[in-house]
């Protein structure tokens, strides 16, 4: 079966104030075309569909239109991430058209969506997709409690629907504990289906988590609980899973799952579970400017062997960073970047007159403009400001630190006048 794995659309997000919805729509148009042209049977969306829990109306409309178009060609399985509201995203899930599966409920992690290529005129065996929404340890450690690795009682009172027993207390307060509990439910269901006989299902997990081995960037929201935000990749090993479709990290990358013999899990041959992040379709911070955005095209054969191929995502506008004196940037050095989203560092020793306006006139898509003069040994010394320091001297040092040069005579006079007025105001208060 041919599957498309994507994640982290962040519909409704902006980039330093720039609305990205048109660029996100262009990526989703590309996604629909890939599904149609490549004969894709299922699309898996591994969380962070929206950028926030209450998305803008235009983002909701875009998702609705996109899912409807994808469902004309393939089954769609979608699960929420830490940016989404699982409740809002899952509203009306039971009313969705055939082939559209919004899997947002934690109790459903061990119940797969079973996809049959024959239902759409395709060929090959069936695939069980276990959708695992973002699991907040504080919210689900009672709900997923299974008597394994229970935490020491810390006096926490469970929710009304999370009644503890002496045998089944809450899970430890960690991402590893709750994810491992969810995977145990998956493994139990895989084992039960295999014991029942019948055709062999290929098994895929869709999860939104920070799995150890992945490389983070600046634009993923911190999900740290108790000082730890990650899940060991080994959690997914030995569960009879063929492929783990990951979301949360924005850079496309493989994650190595420690090898477990498939013979020990009822699978046909020796092979490790394959896990991969698809990454986000667009760069959402300058830390991502060197990433090559893509979508994962996954082929699962009858034995569960997984082959992946990265399909490049369209690039609406490059992210780049340039540095130099203002004269250099306004000259030939800036020619290659006039159409880029830019972070600009102006390195003149003194802050140039009308620096921001002149940079924006040269680079209309500049998103950040900073004056970064050369650091000298003298400027690198940090002074301690005590009560005995002359306030005027401190303000002169501040101007020197920020601009790279001290105030001139007129600026010095203005600073002195402002300081004297402030002191006079304090005395009269």
Which three-class secondary structure string do you get for 116-170? Answer: CHHHHCCCCCCEEEEEECCCCHHHHCCCCCCCCCCCCCCCCCCCCCCCCCCCCCC
**Side-chain half-sphere exposure of 225, counting CA atoms within 13 A:** 20
State how far the Cα of 20 lies from the Cα of 360, in Å rounded to an integer. 20
pLDDT in tens, 271-290: 679 999 999 999 999 999 99
CA-based torsion, 162, 166, 168, 170: positive or negative: positive
Given this model, what pLDDT does residue 242 score? 94
State how far the Cα of 382 lies from the Cα of 6, in Å rounded to an integer. 47
Asked whether the beta carbons of 65 and 27 are under 8 A apart, the reply is no
Number of neighbouring beta carbons within 10 Å of residue 232 = 16
State how far the Cα of 25 lies from the Cα of 281, in Å rounded to an integer. 11
Residues of the chain with pLDDT below 70 are 95, 149-168, 198, 213-228, 259-271, 376-388, 427-429
pLDDT in tens, 159-209: 444 444 445 688 988 999 999 999 999 999 999 988 877 677 899 999 999
CA-based torsion, 189, 194, 197, 199: positive or negative: positive
In terms of Cα–Cα distance, which of 203, 372, 356, 176 is closest to 271?
203
Q: Is 267 left (phi over 0), alpha (psi -120 to 50) or beta?
A: beta
DSSP 314: P
Hey, is 248 helix, strand or coil?
A: coil
The separation between the first and the last C-alpha atoms of the chain, rounded to the nearest angstrom, is: 78
Tell me phi and psi for residue 101, to 5 degrees: -130, 105
Q: What is the dihedral of CA 253, 12, 223, 93, to 10 degrees?
A: -90
Per the DSSP assignment, residues forming a β-bridge with 308 are: 298
Given this model, what pLDDT does residue 158 score? 46
Given this model, what pLDDT does residue 429 score? 56
The model carries a pTM of 0.80
State how far the Cα of 92 lies from the Cα of 85, in Å rounded to an integer. 14
In angstroms and rounded to an integer, the radius of gyration of the C-alpha atoms of the chain is 27
Given this model, what pLDDT does residue 301 score? 84
Tell me phi and psi for residue 320, to 5 degrees: -150, 170
In terms of Cα–Cα distance, which of 304, 303, 340 is closest to 321?
340
Given this model, what pLDDT does residue 364 score? 96
Buried b (16+ CB within 10 A) or exposed e, 30-39: bbbebbeeee
Given this model, what pLDDT does residue 165 score? 44
Q: Tokens for 24, please give them.
A: 């996100």
Q: Show the 3-state SS of 74-104.
A: CEEEEECCCCCCHHHHCCCHHHCCCCEEECC
Tell me phi and psi for residue 292, to 5 degrees: -100, 105
**Side-chain half-sphere exposure of 92, counting CA atoms within 13 A:** 8
Given this model, what pLDDT does residue 271 score? 62
Asked whether the beta carbons of 168 and 146 are under 8 A apart, the reply is yes
Residue 14: in which H helix or E strand, if any? Answer: strand 14-15
């Amino acid at each position: 079966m041919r599957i498309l794995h994507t994640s982290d659309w962040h519909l409704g997000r902006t980039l330093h104030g720039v609305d990205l919805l048109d660029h996100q729509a262009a990526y989703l148009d590309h996604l629909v075309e890939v599904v149609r042209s490549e004969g894709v049977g299922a699309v898996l969306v591994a969380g962070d569909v929206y950028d926030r829990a209450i998305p803008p109306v235009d983002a909701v409309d875009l998702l609705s239109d996109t899912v409807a178009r994808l469902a004309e060609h393939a089954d769609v399985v979608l699960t929420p991430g830490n940016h989404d509201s699982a409740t809002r995203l899952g509203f009306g899930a039971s009313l969705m058209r055939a082939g559209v599966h919004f899997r947002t409920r934690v109790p459903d992690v061990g119940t797969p969506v079973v996809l049959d290529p024959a239902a759409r005129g395709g060929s090959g065996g069936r695939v069980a997709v276990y959708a695992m929404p973002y699991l907040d340890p504080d919210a689900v450690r009672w709900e997923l409690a299974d008597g394994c690795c229970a935490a020491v009682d810390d006096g926490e009172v469970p929710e009304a629907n999370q009644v503890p027993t002496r045998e089944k207390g809450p899970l430890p307060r960690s991402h590893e504990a709750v994810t491992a509990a969810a995977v145990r439910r998956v493994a139990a269901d895989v084992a039960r289906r295999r014991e029942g006989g019948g055709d062999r299902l290929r098994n895929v997990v869709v999860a939104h988590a920070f799995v150890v081995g992945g490389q983070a960037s600046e634009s993923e929201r911190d999900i740290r609980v108790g000082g730890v935000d990650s899940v060991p990749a080994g959690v997914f090993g030995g569960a009879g899973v063929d492929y783990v479709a990951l979301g949360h990290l924005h850079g496309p990358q493989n994650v190595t799952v420690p090898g477990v013999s498939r013979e020990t899990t009822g699978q046909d041959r020796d092979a490790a579970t394959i896990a991969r992040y698809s990454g986000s379709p667009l760069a959402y911070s300058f830390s991502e400017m060197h990433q090559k955005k893509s979508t994962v095209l996954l082929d699962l054969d009858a034995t569960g062997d997984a082959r992946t191929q990265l399909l490049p995502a369209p690039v609406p506008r490059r992210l780049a960073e340039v540095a130099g004196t203002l004269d250099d940037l306004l000259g030939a050095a800036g020619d290659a970047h006039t159409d880029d989203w830019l972070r600009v560092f102006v390195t003149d020793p003194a802050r140039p007159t009308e620096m921001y306006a002149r940079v924006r006139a040269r680079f209309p898509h500049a998103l950040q403009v900073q004056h970064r003069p050369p650091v000298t040994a003298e400027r690198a010394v940090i002074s301690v400001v005590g009560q005995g320091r002359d306030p005027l001297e401190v303000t002169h040092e501040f101007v020197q630190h920020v601009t790279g040069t001290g105030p001139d005579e007129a600026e010095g006079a203005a600073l002195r006048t402002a300081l004297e007025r402030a002191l006079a105001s304090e005395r009269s208060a």
